[in-house]
């Protein structure tokens, strides 16, 4: 006898969906909402309004996992369903488990599309990596690329429903197609053949899988509908640490990738991630990471202090005291702020073409330039409209501008 399908049990309920973590999780939550609406449910805006709560969890670092467990504990006694990465490593974490691997299949038979002007399109799940610190691979498994035809079908549906920004997401975007005998260049060419007024943001790409497809990627990104935005997590600037991490590239590889990107797109926006205090990281190793940041000059740097994740090889290695991690994190943050300030100050007074992508609050919108830089404009502008702006200032993570009439 087949076991009951948890997501099919949620019918004609008022449901609140809480989402934590990455853009991929946001895509799963969009799909859950579509599935549940098809089952007669109403998606509500707060837990207080709901009969049922769906918690889409993240466990990328220990602090986040602890927060997930605390949240589930607070919801004890209510009708709670839990999905995302936490139940994949701990099925008894609390609530009724919705296996995230089943969401995609349910969505395919739903027959409707999410609405909204920003579309999250999942192109694969899992990865080909062997990172010694990462628990996400255990939760999401090996690479499973979604067929090109399915991705294009979803894209066309979202564009037809009014999407003006398309966010491609996966655990590793540049690995797409490796299990299908294809590559990311093929998928992007197919995406560029879809008619419509939309712009594409490419998600996170592992340097290891990016290198073989970089030439084709850069060629395809010449299409004006693809943002010149490249999220490439380097994690460390030390070859010694990279080997211990199981990252299959070198510091020189990273520099070469950044140089190739900026040769093709001098105004490109590069984002990266680093981990401070990985087991065995010396002061010299950390200095090499700081130096690498100054060489490649990313405009966005996600800084994480290492935390041991259960079941990973690195969890059994010596973990340095938190005070060292905190100190290195502060140093990296100061360097990052200096890089951001230099880059963003250089834009003041310049004019640029932008697209309105989001309402921040009434009378204020976020716009994006060709490289996906956020420019805040204090004007009630229409989502999707093209505008010309002059940059007047900046904050930590965004530019400020005035509309040119």
Q: Which of 252, 254, 163, 242 is nearest to 205 (CA)?
A: 254
* Arithmetic mean of pLDDT over the chain: 95
CATH of the domain at 355: 2.40.50.140
What total number of domains does the chain contain? 3
CATH of the domain at 18: 3.40.50.12160
Residue 59 parent element (H or E): none
Place of tokens 């255990």: 138
DSSP string, 164-224: -EEEEE-S-GGGTTTTTT--HHHHHHHHHTS-SS-EEEE----HHHHGGGHHHHHHHTTST
Residues 140 and 287 in one domain: yes
Portion of the chain with pLDDT greater than 70, in percent: 99
Residues 32 and 127 in one domain: no
Residues 325 and 355 in one domain: no
Chain-centroid distance, C-alpha 1: 39
pLDDT at position 4, please? 59
In the numeric block, which tokens belong to residue 282?
């010396």
Residues 299 and 217 in one domain: yes
CATH of the domain at 257: 3.80.30.20
Task: Note whether residue 285 is domain-resident.
Answer: yes
pLDDT at position 3, please? 45
Chain-centroid distance, C-alpha 156: 21
For 287-337, how does the pLDDT look when each residue is reduced to its tens digit (9 = 90+)?
Answer: 999 999 999 999 999 999 999 999 999 999 999 999 999 999 999 999 999
Task: Note whether residue 382 is domain-resident.
Answer: yes
pLDDT at position 2, please? 40
Give the pTM.
Answer: 0.94
Residues 149 and 255 in one domain: yes
Residues 6+ apart with CB under 8 A from 347: 373, 391, 394, 399
Task: Note whether residue 127 is domain-resident.
Answer: yes
pLDDT at position 116, please? 86
Task: Note whether residue 222 is domain-resident.
Answer: yes
- The CA-based angle 297-307-397, given to 5 degrees, is 30
Mean pLDDT of 247-259: 98
Residues 225 and 279 in one domain: yes
Q: Is 111's pLDDT higher than 70?
A: yes
List the domain range (segments joined by +) for residue 128: 114-345
> 39, 71, 103 — which closes off a domain?
103
For 179-230, how does the pLDDT look when each residue is reduced to its tens digit (9 = 90+)?
Answer: 999 999 999 999 999 999 999 999 999 999 999 999 999 999 999 999 999 9
Residues 78 and 187 in one domain: no
In the numeric block, which tokens belong to residue 372?
């996906």
Task: Note whether residue 311 is domain-resident.
Answer: yes
Task: Note whether residue 108 is domain-resident.
Answer: no
Residues 138 and 98 in one domain: no
Residues 296 and 340 in one domain: yes
For 35-86, how does the pLDDT look when each residue is reduced to its tens digit (9 = 90+)?
Answer: 999 999 999 999 999 999 999 999 999 999 999 999 999 999 899 999 999 9
Task: Note whether residue 1 is domain-resident.
Answer: no
Task: Note whether residue 109 is domain-resident.
Answer: no
Residues 167 and 267 in one domain: yes
Residues 283 and 156 in one domain: yes
Mean pLDDT of 390-401: 95
In the numeric block, which tokens belong to residue 302?
């996600």
- What is the Cα–Cα distance from 244 to 224, expressed in whole angstroms? 39
């Amino acid at each position: 006898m087949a076991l009951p399908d948890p997501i099919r049990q949620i019918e004609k309920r008022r449901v609140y969906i809480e989402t934590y973590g990455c853009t991929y999780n946001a895509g799963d939550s969009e799909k859950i909402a579509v599935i549940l609406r098809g089952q007669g449910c109403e998606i509500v805006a707060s837990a207080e309004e709901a009969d049922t709560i769906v918690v889409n969890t993240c466990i990328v670092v220990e602090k986040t996992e602890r927060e997930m467990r605390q949240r589930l504990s607070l919801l004890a006694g209510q009708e709670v369903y839990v999905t995302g990465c936490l139940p994949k490593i701990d099925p008894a974490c609390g609530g009724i488990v919705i296996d995230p691997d089943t969401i995609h299949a349910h969505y395919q038979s739903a027959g409707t599309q999410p609405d909204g002007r920003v579309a999250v399109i999942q192109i694969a799940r899992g990865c080909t990596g062997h990172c010694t610190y990462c628990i996400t691979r255990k939760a999401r498994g090996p690479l499973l690329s979604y067929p090109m035809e399915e991705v294009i079908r979803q894209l066309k549906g979202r564009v037809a429903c009014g999407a003006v920004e398309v966010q491609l997401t996966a655990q590793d975007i540049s690995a797409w197609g490796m299990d299908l005998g294809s590559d990311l260049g093929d998928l992007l060419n197919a995406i560029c053949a879809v008619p419509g007024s939309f712009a594409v943001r490419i998600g996170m790409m592992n340097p290891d899988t990016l290198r073989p497809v970089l030439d084709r990627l850069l060629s395809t990104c010449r299409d004006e509908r693809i943002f010149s935005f490249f999220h490439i997590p380097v994690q460390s600037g030390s070859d010694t640490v990279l080997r211990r991490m199981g990252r299959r590239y070198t510091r020189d590889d990273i520099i070469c990738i950044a140089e190739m990107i900026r040769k093709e797109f001098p105004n490109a926006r590069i984002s990266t991630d680093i981990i401070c205090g990985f087991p065995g990281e010396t002061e010299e190793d950390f200095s090499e990471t700081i130096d690498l940041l100054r060489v490649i000059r990313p405009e966005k740097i996600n800084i994480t202090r290492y935390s041991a994740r259960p079941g990973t090889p690195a969890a059994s290695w010596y973990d340095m005291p938190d005070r060292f991690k905190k100190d290195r994190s502060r140093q990296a943050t100061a360097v990052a702020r200096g890089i951001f300030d230099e880059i963003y100050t250089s834009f003041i007074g310049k004019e640029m073409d932008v697209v309105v992508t989001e309402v921040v609050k009434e009378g204020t919108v976020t716009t994006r330039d060709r490289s996906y830089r956020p420019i805040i404009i204090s004007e009630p502008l229409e989502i999707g409209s093209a505008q010309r702006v002059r940059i007047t200032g900046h904050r930590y993570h965004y530019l400020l501008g005035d509309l040119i009439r």
